[in-house]
A and B are shown apart, each in its own frame.
Chain A
């Protein structure tokens, strides 16, 4: 318990609010086949002008096969408007092409592609395909699990569509590399007794972007804690802030909250001949 207290204190002492993190990166593992997940993510920022703004993102995820996962999502926010309104939609597909499993260990790799539509005009330099900007992204994910510790890294190439805005006397960047390095650790329980136990995970993620056509970058750090209830519902609380960068962004920090419920085997399989 002392350790939990320590970790809770550690993570919360960056700033008072907590936030979720899983909205930021996906591991190479995909959803179980024939399963679905419903996810809500909320992002909360205080802009440079001092206005408090929010973004709400519902998502539906589907595990089509053991290796292929797709999801669709939308976002509603008041970040680019005076009122809360629908602003964007996203489609995402991820294919796991490599798995090497051992007892409580794995190495996995996956390819992903994302397409985003956004009503918003380009106002900032960063290419954020989760609401701000319309565009495409594709990349690769490598995840490694060692018992209670999981490390994951992502490298993606993103291309923004609506980039005719001029900021700082230059046109907004349209191409960027996104990269991330994420660590997660299972803190509780020490020993499993049932699926009903509440689990606690802690996460630390580095999230970076380097634009290609303009020399702009940011690198963020995003710690989070995650509770898992009944082995199917996640609650993520996290905070994300900039460690360094030279981009014109909406905000250099934000808080995240996420709730994610998995529904296993909800898609019926075709009858299979049993030998």
Chain B
């Protein structure tokens, strides 16, 4: 009996505990979810245990067996697939064949002279690039969706789901969110059932679609916060209505103030927060649109009756 238990335990240890591996972060240029897929796939060679590209930071986290492969070798493979890395440039011919949405702003050649010929001095070029990489990142507008006429944009969201613990459940939500066309990347935190979402450029963001993704996966939204960039300051006050990036918004319970720069706003409509919290908010407002989520006579933006209106708070 004991031997079988031992055997099982040993088998399990093999699943969970990996050999000692090296970890590193490599700057890799790219744009979208498609880039992420190609970058991660091209990085995965013999000896690479895991590769995860962070779209927002343009960084690839790699776990690899240093006895089998080097960071530079990994970069060679990524560059061969058309993506500039901190030490290497992708061949122009391969870059030219990338899909339209993957045509990222290339690494500025002025920041470093690193080319594949620099293989002899990867450490040095790495240093140069880390400082030099600021240039393309700062000019890279593709991180965020295109701004509206006022230059204001939604950049991403933090969704927390309730009703689950297991990884399989979290995976169901993650996959449902991945289906949404306006989402570029998702960083799940399985321990808190939360998902940090980055939006794609040139897309219309739908809060309802994100909420429905969670509900269709079989769970509930505990909170949905959206990150908005107010390039042009916006004045808010209690029950103020306005249109932001194509969405009708109603500020609830917020004191008069001016919003500018990066702000997190919380959606407090039905099914975006816990039921008891929704009931509490309901009690504090006389606006009928809060119950229905649809513009009504009570609303202060004319000509938009029966349109969806989201109720938000800071």
> Chain A residues in contact with chain B, CB under 8 A?
1, 4-5, 8-9, 12-13, 16, 18, 29-35, 65-66, 96, 99, 101-106, 145, 147-148, 186, 188-189, 191-200, 227-229, 231-232, 234, 262, 264-265, 269, 272, 274-275
Contact B5 A8 (CB under 8 A): yes
How many angstroms between the C-alpha atoms of A35 and B218 in the bound complex?
11
How many angstroms between the C-alpha atoms of A188 and B16 in the bound complex?
9
How many angstroms between the C-alpha atoms of A265 and B174 in the bound complex?
11
Residues of B within 8 A of A32 (CB): 172, 175-176, 216-218
Contact B16 A145 (CB under 8 A): no
Contact B171 A231 (CB under 8 A): yes
Contact A101 B179 (CB under 8 A): no
> Chain B residues in contact with chain A, CB under 8 A?
1-2, 4-6, 8-9, 12-13, 15-16, 50, 160, 162-168, 170-172, 174-176, 178-179, 188, 190-191, 193, 204, 206, 208-209, 215-220, 222, 274, 307-308
Closest Cβ neighbor of B309 among chain A residues: A275
Contact A231 B170 (CB under 8 A): yes
Residues of A within 8 A of B1 (CB): 9, 12-13, 16
In addition to A147-B165, A193-B190, A264-B171, 7 A-B residue pairs with Cβ atoms within 8 Å of each other are A16-B1, A18-B8, A66-B216, A104-B162, A231-B170, A262-B168, A275-B206
Sample 14 A-B pairs with CB under 8 A, ordered by A number: A1-B9, A8-B12, A32-B217, A66-B218, A101-B162, A103-B160, A148-B165, A194-B50, A194-B190, A195-B167, A195-B171, A198-B15, A227-B15, A275-B208
> How far does the Cβ of B133 sit from chain A's closest Cβ, in whole Å?
26
The secondary-structure label for the interface of chain A is loop
Contact A105 B167 (CB under 8 A): no
Closest Cβ neighbor of B163 among chain A residues: A101
> How far does the Cβ of A143 sit from chain B's closest Cβ, in whole Å?
11
Kindly identify which residue among A12, A33, A198 contacts B216, using a CB–CB cutoff of 8 Å.
A33
With A16-B4, A66-B218, A104-B162 known as contacts, the answer to whether A197 contacts B167 (CB < 8 A) is yes
Contact A200 B163 (CB under 8 A): no
> How far does the Cβ of A134 sit from chain B's closest Cβ, in whole Å?
32
Contact A264 B163 (CB under 8 A): no
> How far does the Cβ of A187 sit from chain B's closest Cβ, in whole Å?
10
Residues of B within 8 A of A99 (CB): 163, 220
Closest Cβ neighbor of B294 among chain A residues: A275
Closest Cβ neighbor of B9 among chain A residues: A5
Kindly identify which residue among B16, B163, B179 contacts A105, using a CB–CB cutoff of 8 Å.
B163
Residues of A within 8 A of B168 (CB): 199, 228, 231-232, 234, 262
Contact A9 B176 (CB under 8 A): no
Residues of A within 8 A of B12 (CB): 4, 8, 188, 198, 200, 227
How many angstroms between the C-alpha atoms of A264 and B172 in the bound complex?
6
How many angstroms between the C-alpha atoms of A216 and B219 in the bound complex?
40
Residues of B within 8 A of A193 (CB): 190
Closest 8 CB pairs of A and B: A101-B163, A192-B190, A231-B171, A101-B220, A33-B216, A264-B175, A275-B308, A198-B15
Closest Cβ neighbor of B4 among chain A residues: A12
Residues of A within 8 A of B167 (CB): 192, 195, 197, 199, 228, 231
How many angstroms between the C-alpha atoms of A12 and B5 in the bound complex?
7
Kindly identify which residue among B5, B164, B178, B204 contacts A274, using a CB–CB cutoff of 8 Å.
B204
How many angstroms between the C-alpha atoms of A191 and B190 in the bound complex?
9
Closest Cβ neighbor of A31 among chain B residues: B218
How many angstroms between the C-alpha atoms of A192 and B206 in the bound complex?
29
> How far does the Cβ of B205 sit from chain A's closest Cβ, in whole Å?
9
* Most-contacted residue by chain B among A13, A228, A269, A275 (CB, 10 A): A275
Contact A197 B163 (CB under 8 A): no
Contact A103 B222 (CB under 8 A): yes
How many angstroms between the C-alpha atoms of A255 and B209 in the bound complex?
44
Residues of B within 8 A of A191 (CB): 191
Closest Cβ neighbor of A146 among chain B residues: B165
How many angstroms between the C-alpha atoms of A34 and B171 in the bound complex?
14
How many angstroms between the C-alpha atoms of A73 and B102 in the bound complex?
44
Kindly identify which residue among B4, B176, B220, B308 contacts A265, using a CB–CB cutoff of 8 Å.
B176
Contact B308 A145 (CB under 8 A): no
* Most-contacted residue by chain B among A18, A29, A34, A264 (CB, 10 A): A264
> How far does the Cβ of A31 sit from chain B's closest Cβ, in whole Å?
8
Residues of A within 8 A of B220 (CB): 99, 101
Contact A186 B5 (CB under 8 A): no
How many angstroms between the C-alpha atoms of A217 and B215 in the bound complex?
40
Contact B165 A145 (CB under 8 A): yes
Residues of A within 8 A of B165 (CB): 104, 145, 147-148, 186
Kindly identify which residue among A1, A105, A272 contacts B13, using a CB–CB cutoff of 8 Å.
A1
How many angstroms between the C-alpha atoms of A228 and B16 in the bound complex?
12
Closest Cβ neighbor of A228 among chain B residues: B168
Contact B176 A30 (CB under 8 A): no
Closest Cβ neighbor of B52 among chain A residues: A194
With A33-B217, A195-B167 known as contacts, the answer to whether A264 contacts B176 (CB < 8 A) is yes
Residues of B within 8 A of A192 (CB): 167, 170, 190-191
Closest Cβ neighbor of A266 among chain B residues: B175
With A12-B5, A275-B307 known as contacts, the answer to whether A101 contacts B219 (CB < 8 A) is yes
How many angstroms between the C-alpha atoms of A200 and B167 in the bound complex?
11
> How far does the Cβ of A146 sit from chain B's closest Cβ, in whole Å?
9
> How far does the Cβ of B294 sit from chain A's closest Cβ, in whole Å?
9
Contact B209 A274 (CB under 8 A): yes
